[in-house]
Amino acid sequence: MIVELGHFALVLALGVAMVQAVLPLIGAWRRWNGWMAVAEPAAVVQLMLIAVAFGALTWAFVTSDFSLRLVVMNSHTDKPMLYKISGVWGNHEGSLLLWSLILALFGACAALFGTNLPPTLRARVLGVQALIGVAFLSFMLFTSNPFLRLSVPPMNGEDLNPLLQDPGLAFHPPFLYLGYVGMSMAFSFAVAALLEGRVDAAWGRWVRPWTLAAWIFLTIGIALGSWWAYYELGWGGFWFWDPVENASFMPWLFGAALLHSAIVVEKRESLKAWTILLAILAFGFSLIGTFIVRSGVITSVHSFASDPERGIFILMILGVFMGGALLLFGLRASAMEAKGVFSMVSRESALVTNNLLLAVSSFVVFVGTVWPLFVEIASQDPYWGAMQNPFYALGLFTRPQVLSVGAPFFDAAFTPFMVALALLLPVGAMLPWKRAQAGRVLRQLVPVAVLAFAVGALVFAIQTGRSALVPVGAALGLWVLGGAFVDLWTRTGRGDLSGRFGRLTRLPRADWGKATAHAGLGVTIFAVAAMTGWATEVIKVVRIGESFDLSGYQVKLVDVHEEKGPNYISTMAEMAVTQGGKPVSVLFPEKRVYPVQAMPTTEAALDYGLFRDIYLVIGDPQVGGGYAVRGYWKPFANWIWIGCGLMALGGLLSLTDRRYRVAAGARNARAVPAE
């Protein structure tokens, strides 16, 4: 019964979304206040209905209702409660329900907190948001209904993919979706502004908090996923340039670009058309991400769903929304001319450069991700029906080809843009608006540059004979990090130290946010370089009682025994780590077998430290006795995610800046004329 209520609520939500998509948009066009006013209650009701549906599905998972097809496919009575709940979104149908729930949540937030928006803009934003809702709710109901019953319920379920039974991954999808879907707000604002035919500083101020929020969630989601990969997949890699990772990385890069360009709109009323385009593209890439993950078109480690019917549906959603928005953009963009005047050397130009580099690097990720798919389709046959394959005629292909694009390509093609970005960042961040003197800013940064260069040279001298990766990464990271400090410090003006410290605490939160986020990027750059370049690895056969050396630590295999978990059987090793005779820690790496899914997983054991992780993995028993054991020493590993955390924190600080909290109330006081 509860399940049917959920199902019914979902169908009702589709109906409400349809009303919310049609009436307010017509109302805003015809200036009918009554029709526009429908948007607000509709958005709230839509959220409540989808929440009921989500609650019902969660109920089915928690109580292991095996008459529900989805529960049978993804759950099991023995599964721990956390994973019964995370199992709700650990599959195609449930994750779409979560997608729609978050979409409705953002819509309702815009309805409730957006009271300061001009009525027509608000009606249009909510209308466009509801259009997206209609698309996804019908996608769910027509191709991926989570509430389908089975006529003969089985005794037990088939369990969730064991790789997904992990706390890190339980919370990775919700954050990622909050980010993906959050970009829909920027999109709705962009389309609404195009419909209004007007973009001004106020628009920039309204759209930036939503983009910031979405970007913060994406940052956290990506960091969680990467951390999960680091400790779960068993060899300590943290980023694989897998299509699914790229799918989340592209909106992140576009979101970062949008954050920066929205500042220009807000402060200088310039870059308007470009910002609108970025908002459209950021959401477009979120949709492409959803398409890649949900259609299974590009098979990858993460792709658990593949069904062409669904793929085509999402492709249609993508086509309609991107096609429509870009057409509207083409028709209306020229009306949005920029106002601000500025010289070649200015904050504005610096932000344009930032946008250029972020957009191009995202484009590289996109091309690399879809290239294998494109080549496979385009090079398939010399003849397409009666027509000669145009790619053959052009000489692009001479035979059917399949190829791969992976980490080595992205390392080579993507990194240069990030290096350029990091090099320019500290300078650009400190340039004043309108007209700047580069020399003045550069002089302020000289100490940081010298320090960064010196550290890079020192690292290079110490680690003779290894790659230049760490020295360059360390210098770049320090340059960005130090630049953030200098930026903040110069904001305090002149005078004695105590006065400047006093002013430091009173700086707007946006300044702190900017410096924190930039510092986070510097930390991450440094950590990625240090960990990639310096990590050491030991792979050997070790008998019980034997020890081996791992970068100054001694690791002893004390014991190996079988252990039974709630829904798996584990071969657990006990390994004692010591340094110079002093005990450091005792670690228990495991090899698990999940009988229901017949799938083995390795559970690495880690001793986390601020400056290094010790990472141990137990392998198969060997023919001659002993076990294959792998040990890694990973310097500065945790700084990668500390850096991501700083970036997210910086975003949060900016989000709580006074101008977003107070200005809203100030605008409330006056009646905004409805154009």
Partner 1 sequence: MRKLLILLAFLATPAFAVQPDEILPDPALESRAREISKLLRCPVCQGENIDDSNAVISRDLRILVRERLVAGDSDDQVIDFVVDRYGEYVLFKPRASGANWVLWLAGPGMLVLGGGMAWIWLRGRRQAVPPEALTPEEEARLREILKE
Nearer to partner 1, 222 or 655 (CB): 222
Residue type, 595: P
Q: What is the DSSP string of 114-133?
A: GGGS-HHHHHHHHHHHHHHH
Map the footprint of partner 1 across residues 367-396, applying CB under 8 A: 367-368, 371, 375, 378-379, 391, 396
Q: Does 235 bind partner 1 (CB under 8 A)?
A: yes
- Is the separation of the CB atoms in 630 and 558 below 8 Å? no
Block residue for tokens 């930026």 = 487
Segment contacting partner 1 (CB under 8 A): 140-148, 300-308, 558-566, 572-580? 300-308
Q: Which of 115, 388, 437, 622 binds partner 1 (CB under 8 A)?
A: 622
Residue type, 304: F
Q: Does 462 bind partner 1 (CB under 8 A)?
A: no
Beta bridge partners of 585: 577
Kindly write out the interface string for residues 177-216 of this chain, putting x where it contacts partner 1 by CB under 8 A and - elsewhere: ----------------------------------------
Q: Does 619 bind partner 1 (CB under 8 A)?
A: yes
Name the token pair of 349. 């130009």
Map the footprint of partner 1 across residues 267-296, applying CB under 8 A: 270
Q: Does 415 bind partner 1 (CB under 8 A)?
A: no
- The rounded Cα 361 to chain-centroid distance in angstroms is 15
Segment contacting partner 1 (CB under 8 A): 43-51, 184-192, 353-361, 486-494? 353-361
Say how many residues touch partner 1, by CB under 8 A. Answer: 69
Closest distance between partner 1 and the C-beta of residue 290, in Å?
A: 19
Beta bridge partners of 601: 592
Q: Which of 412, 461, 610, 669 binds partner 1 (CB under 8 A)?
A: 412
DSSP H helices, 431-539, are 438-462, 469-490, 497-506, 509-534
Q: Does 339 bind partner 1 (CB under 8 A)?
A: yes
Q: How far is CA 141 from CA 9, 25, 62, 309, 495, in A?
A: 11, 24, 22, 13, 65
Nearer to partner 1, 493 or 625 (CB): 625
Closest distance between partner 1 and the C-beta of residue 435, in Å?
A: 9
What span, in angstroms and rounded, lies between the C-alpha atoms of 17 and 130? 5
Q: Does 299 bind partner 1 (CB under 8 A)?
A: yes
Q: What is the DSSP string of 223-283?
A: HHHHHHHHHHSSS-------HHHHHHHHHHHHHHHHHHHHHHHHHHS-SHHHHHHHHHHHH
Q: What is the DSSP letter of 336?
A: -
- Is the separation of the CB atoms in 519 and 646 below 8 Å? yes
Q: Does 95 bind partner 1 (CB under 8 A)?
A: no
Q: Does 570 bind partner 1 (CB under 8 A)?
A: no
Q: Which of 301, 320, 423, 468 binds partner 1 (CB under 8 A)?
A: 301
What span, in angstroms and rounded, lies between the C-alpha atoms of 427 and 449? 11
Nearer to partner 1, 301 or 320 (CB): 301
SS3 label, residue 620:
strand
Q: What is the DSSP string of 21-82?
A: HHHHHHHHHHT-HHHHHTHHHHHHHHHHHHHHHHHHHHHHHHTT-TTBHHHHHH--TTS-HH
Q: Which of 145, 156, 161, 303 binds partner 1 (CB under 8 A)?
A: 303
Segment contacting partner 1 (CB under 8 A): 21-29, 256-264, 343-351, 449-457? 343-351
Q: Which of 85, 305, 373, 541 binds partner 1 (CB under 8 A)?
A: 541
Q: Does 162 bind partner 1 (CB under 8 A)?
A: no
Q: Which of 344, 461, 497, 669 binds partner 1 (CB under 8 A)?
A: 344
Closest distance between partner 1 and the C-beta of residue 361, in Å?
A: 7
Q: What is the DSSP string of 95-120?
A: HHHHHHHHHHHHHHHHHHHGGGS-HH
What span, in angstroms and rounded, lies between the C-alpha atoms of 458 and 471? 8
Name the token pair of 429. 């961040």
Q: Does 343 bind partner 1 (CB under 8 A)?
A: yes
Structure-derived torsion over alpha carbons of residues 80, 83, 85, 87, reported in degrees to the nearest 10: -140
Handedness of CA 21, 24, 122, 111 (dihedral sign): negative
Q: How far is CA 125 from CA 122, 475, 544, in A?
A: 5, 45, 65
Q: Which of 363, 453, 485, 489 binds partner 1 (CB under 8 A)?
A: 363
SS3 label, residue 387:
strand
- Is the separation of the CB atoms in 524 and 647 below 8 Å? yes
What span, in angstroms and rounded, lies between the C-alpha atoms of 182 and 86? 21
Nearer to partner 1, 46 or 248 (CB): 248
Q: Which of 143, 161, 349, 490 binds partner 1 (CB under 8 A)?
A: 349
Supply the Cα-derived Rg of the chain in whole angstroms. Answer: 27
Closest distance between partner 1 and the C-beta of residue 342, in Å?
A: 6
Closest distance between partner 1 and the C-beta of residue 163, in Å?
A: 12
Closest distance between partner 1 and the C-beta of residue 133, in Å?
A: 32
Q: Which of 149, 540, 543, 658 binds partner 1 (CB under 8 A)?
A: 540
Q: Does 440 bind partner 1 (CB under 8 A)?
A: no
Nearer to partner 1, 392 or 485 (CB): 392
Q: What is the DSSP letter of 622?
A: P
Closest distance between partner 1 and the C-beta of residue 194, in Å?
A: 18
Q: Does 666 bind partner 1 (CB under 8 A)?
A: no
Map the footprint of partner 1 across residues 586-615, applying CB under 8 A: 599-600, 602
Q: Does 33 bind partner 1 (CB under 8 A)?
A: no
How many other C-beta atoms are found inside a 10 Å radius of the C-beta of residue 260? 22
Segment contacting partner 1 (CB under 8 A): 50-58, 527-535, 617-625, 637-645? 617-625
Q: Does 226 bind partner 1 (CB under 8 A)?
A: no
Closest distance between partner 1 and the C-beta of residue 243, in Å?
A: 7
Residue type, 298: I
Closest distance between partner 1 and the C-beta of residue 287, in Å?
A: 21
Q: Which of 234, 471, 520, 651 binds partner 1 (CB under 8 A)?
A: 234
Which residue ranges make up the site for partner 1 (CB under 8 A)? Answer: 233-235, 237, 240, 242-243, 270, 299-301, 303, 337-344, 348-349, 352-353, 356-357, 359-361, 363-364, 367-368, 371, 375, 378-379, 391, 396-398, 401-409, 412-414, 416-417, 539-541, 599-600, 602, 617, 619-620, 622, 628, 630, 673, 675
